[in-house]
Structure 1
Amino acid sequence: MSRFWKIALIVVAVLVVAAVGVRLLHKPAAGPRAQAGAAAGKDGPGAKEADPVPVTVEPVSVQNVPVYLTALGTVQALNTVTVSPQIGGLLMKLNFTEGQEVTKGQVLAEIDPRSLQASYDQAAARKRQDAAQLATARSNLARSLDLAKQGYISKQDMDTLQNTVSQYEATVAADEAAINDAKVQLGYTKVIAPISGMAGIRGVDPGNIVTTSSSIVTLTEVHPINVIFPLPEQNVELVRSSQQRGEPLEVAALDSAGSKVIAGKGVLKVINNQIDTSTGTFNLKAEFPNEENALFPGQFVNVRMKVNTVQGGLVIPSQAVQRGPDGDYVYQLQPSDSTVKMQPVTTGQEVGDSHVMVTQGLKTGDQVVTEGQFRLKPGSKVKALKPGEVPAAPTEEELKKVAKDKKAGGRGGRRG
């Protein structure tokens, strides 16, 4: 039995050797992929390059860039007045419409004047009565002067006549004061707007009895109007130095998204004289003409204040800036070999809605990729397209391949 197994093992070994020999003799020729790999092995890493990636490239531009400080502000009326009557009485009429613009001196309401008119008439009549008595006393004094010279009237009687004239003069003066007071009180029956502004919701209705504590309406002056906003304390010196240059600092109010200017032509009026220690901020007040009523008291707005202008700033499209684990970067074109490198940058002030200023990492003449970055990695060969020319959208396979390559590259590849 052992001899049989030895012969079987020898036969199997011969068959295996024969099969390996046949496979080696009939090995197929290397295909295009294998030939490309062989060529890469002979010619080095540069020989295994894919087709150039089409990307849009734009040069770094030079502009004078305005520098802004931004904050969230609150709109505040220039003046707010609660209009109350200065006398009590029956409210007969309201001469304004809620929400209406009223002017200073306009009659807003009318209170029943009849009782005060009667008081005024009584004061006037009393004055006329006392004035007649004063005239009589003066006439008696004048006639007595001639008789006194002839010795017919004693000095005591002359003193009495003189004192009577003085007494009636004082009475007439008191009557004049009473008339003026009655006239003032009568004038209070017409409630006058103390400022120009927008009328709010009325607090009383005609026919009600009002007192000096009743609120008829609140007026808010909105032309011009103020915006109060805070800034961090580290900006104090920047704002103060900018203001000391002599030109008023321009301020704009933007919508809640911060993308649209709703009120311009604002100027900085006041820098508060102290810093809030609890928040580390200081308040500022800007004034706007508000000609189109774009700002409303109590409204929250985004505030943008221009504090400086950088001469000759370097500007690139915002879409060129990519965010990586180590900070912002751009793909910079290397004109010598049409490849790109990952260039770290430091960005500063936004320029309009589509550009941003670069403070570090680039120089004049550099070119950056603005479209097609998803296909790139450091060292990628690219085909540069002119601004306005957009490369074709990536296929699903390309997106998967790029994601796989970036994952394989890891942090080290992104730093390159």
Structure 2
Amino acid sequence: MHIQKKTVLLVALLVALGALVLWFSMKPAATRPSAASAVPVKVVSVVEKDVPRFASGIGTVLSLHSVVIRPQVDGILTKLLVKEGQLVKKGDLLATIDDRSIRASLDQARAQLGESQAQLAVAQVNLNRYKVLSVDDGVSRQTYDQQQALVNQLKATAQGNQAAIDSAQVQLSYTQIRSPVTGRVGIRNVDEGNFLRTSDTEGLFTVTQIDPIAVEFSLPQQMLPTLQRLIAAPDQALVKAYIGADGATGQLLGEGRLSLIDNQVNTSTGTLRAKAEFNNAAQRLWPGQLVTLKIQTAVDKGALVVPPTVVQRGLEQPFVYRVNGDKVESVPVEMVYQDSDMHIINGVNAGDQLVSDGQSRLKPGASVQVIGDPPAVAKTGQAQP
């Protein structure tokens, strides 16, 4: 009995020993903490360059001159000498109106003038004769005065006849409709053969000046001092017009100059109207078109430019991570100017290597590994007008 107990204890001990050996053999080896690895980052160089500043707004393209061509005399439209969409110059003949009735009136006025001039010539001869005879009392003073009055009357009649001729000539000139401006002919409203009246409000068509052309736009009233400074400057401020709402990605339609600002602020919207003029030889700007404008308001000389991804927002002020050897340091900066394409900052030096990607894993003094080549200087902070 005693031997059986020893045997059981020995078996139990062997089983426990086997289980302990098995546990140690299957236990994972303890890992030693490795040294902190370097954080991969991308960097860019701080670029020093002259950067223009721009203010943006939405504007409407307007013609400097748009004229509705209307008849100034009643008559039948005999000829249309231009086509829709044709470019015409100031003074070009556009259309003609039947002028036969006006020419008849002109001939009649000329005939009446000839008759009055003939009568005046006879009366003047008699007046000269009476003047000589009145010296020797050959004719009475009354007869001489009556002849003088007749001469004055005939002179007035001749002047009236000349005025009628001038009026008829003006009316005759209205039968030839000429372009008052250089521009483009619009859609025609009347065909040849129609009877035109001066009371017609629709007109034959319009002639709209395309080149040069203007763009009217509105800016917040806070921009008034800046606009006043630009207007007073010797050189007119540069204005660029783009199609689309985003001037950075839209198509450039033309470059013009700021020409004027309105004389009052719109109290209901708090905005100020302004106008810019553009040379438009290519006719890319069209009356009534909505465009996005960018006005150059200033130029920062020797500005320190970085991409927007470089600057981080701190609790007190913005900061950047600057690479110093294989580590980074936090450098507080001052934001001078910012837009969607680039930031102008103070607090760093031109040529400094700043982290542009990977900041979320960084802290001051962290080791970094620069991956990729820094972007070319021309691409870093390239201002998109």
Normalising by the residue count of structure 2, what TM-score does the alignment of the two structures yield?
0.82
Percent identity (aligned):
35
Determine if contact 2:42/2:358 at 8 Å carries over to the other structure. no
**Shift in Å, 1:296:** 1.0
Moved more, 355-364 or 186-195: 355-364
Amino acid at match of 2:58: L
- Residue 171 to residue 380, structure 1, CA distance change in 2 (3 Å): same
Amino acid at match of 1:348: Y
Residue 221 of structure 2 corresponds to: 233
* 1:213-362 matched pairs, under 5 angstroms: 213-214=199-200, 215-256=203-244, 257-258=246-247, 259=249, 260-264=251-255, 266-318=256-308, 320-321=309-310, 332-338=321-327, 346=335, 348-350=337-339, 356-359=342-345, 362=348
Determine if contact 2:62/2:288 at 8 Å carries over to the other structure. yes
Amino acid at match of 1:308: A
Distance in 2 between residues matched to 1:376 and 1:201, nearest whole Å? 62
* 1:325-404 matched pairs, under 5 angstroms: 332-338=321-327, 346=335, 348-350=337-339, 356-359=342-345, 362-370=348-356, 373=357, 377-378=361-362, 379=366, 381-387=368-374
Listed one character per residue, the Cα deviations across residues 51-101 of structure 1 (whole Å, up to 9, x for unaligned) are x63x54221111111111111111111111111111010000111121122
- Residue 242 to residue 327, structure 1, CA distance change in 2 (3 Å): farther
- Residue 325 to residue 111, structure 1, CA distance change in 2 (3 Å): farther
Is 1:88 equivalent to 2:82 in the alignment? no
Gaps of 5+ in 2: 1-8, 377-385
Equivalences, count: 361
Listed one character per residue, the Cα deviations across residues 278-313 of structure 1 (whole Å, up to 9, x for unaligned) are 222111111112222221111111111111111221
Moved more, 218-227 or 85-94: 218-227
Amino acid at match of 2:236: P
Distance in 2 between residues matched to 1:298 and 1:217, nearest whole Å? 17
Listed one character per residue, the Cα deviations across residues 96-149 of structure 1 (whole Å, up to 9, x for unaligned) are 121122111111110000000000000000111111111111122222333333
Distance in 2 between residues matched to 1:169 and 1:356, nearest whole Å? 83
- Residue 13 to residue 74, structure 1, CA distance change in 2 (3 Å): farther
C-alpha RMSD of the superposition: 3.3
Moved more, 328-337 or 128-137: 328-337
Moved more, 303-312 or 250-259: 250-259
**Shift in Å, 1:325:** 11
Moved more, 114-123 or 379-388: 379-388
Distance in 2 between residues matched to 1:13 and 1:301, nearest whole Å? 93
**Shift in Å, 1:388:** 5.2
Match of 2:156 among 166, 170, 177: 170
Distance in 1 between residues matched to 2:102 and 2:24, nearest whole Å? 131
Residue 38 of structure 1 corresponds to: 32
Determine if contact 2:44/2:354 at 8 Å carries over to the other structure. yes
Distance in 2 between residues matched to 1:272 and 1:15, nearest whole Å? 104
Distance in 1 between residues matched to 2:66 and 2:300, nearest whole Å? 40
Listed one character per residue, the Cα deviations across residues 142-195 of structure 1 (whole Å, up to 9, x for unaligned) are 223333333332222222222211111111111111111111111111112112
Determine if contact 1:313/1:357 at 8 Å carries over to the other structure. no
Listed one character per residue, the Cα deviations across residues 240-274 of structure 1 (whole Å, up to 9, x for unaligned) are 2344343321111122142332201x111111122
Equivalent position SS for 1:170: helix
Residue 116 of structure 1 corresponds to: 102
Determine if contact 2:45/2:353 at 8 Å carries over to the other structure. yes
Equivalent position SS for 1:272: strand
- Residue 200 to residue 25, structure 1, CA distance change in 2 (3 Å): closer
Gaps of 5+ in 1: 1-9, 41-46, 390-416
* 1:92-103 matched pairs, under 5 angstroms: 92-103=78-89
- Residue 63 to residue 130, structure 1, CA distance change in 2 (3 Å): same
Normalising by the residue count of structure 1, what TM-score does the alignment of the two structures yield?
0.77
Is 1:211 equivalent to 2:201 in the alignment? no
Equivalent position SS for 2:263: coil
Determine if contact 1:253/1:301 at 8 Å carries over to the other structure. yes
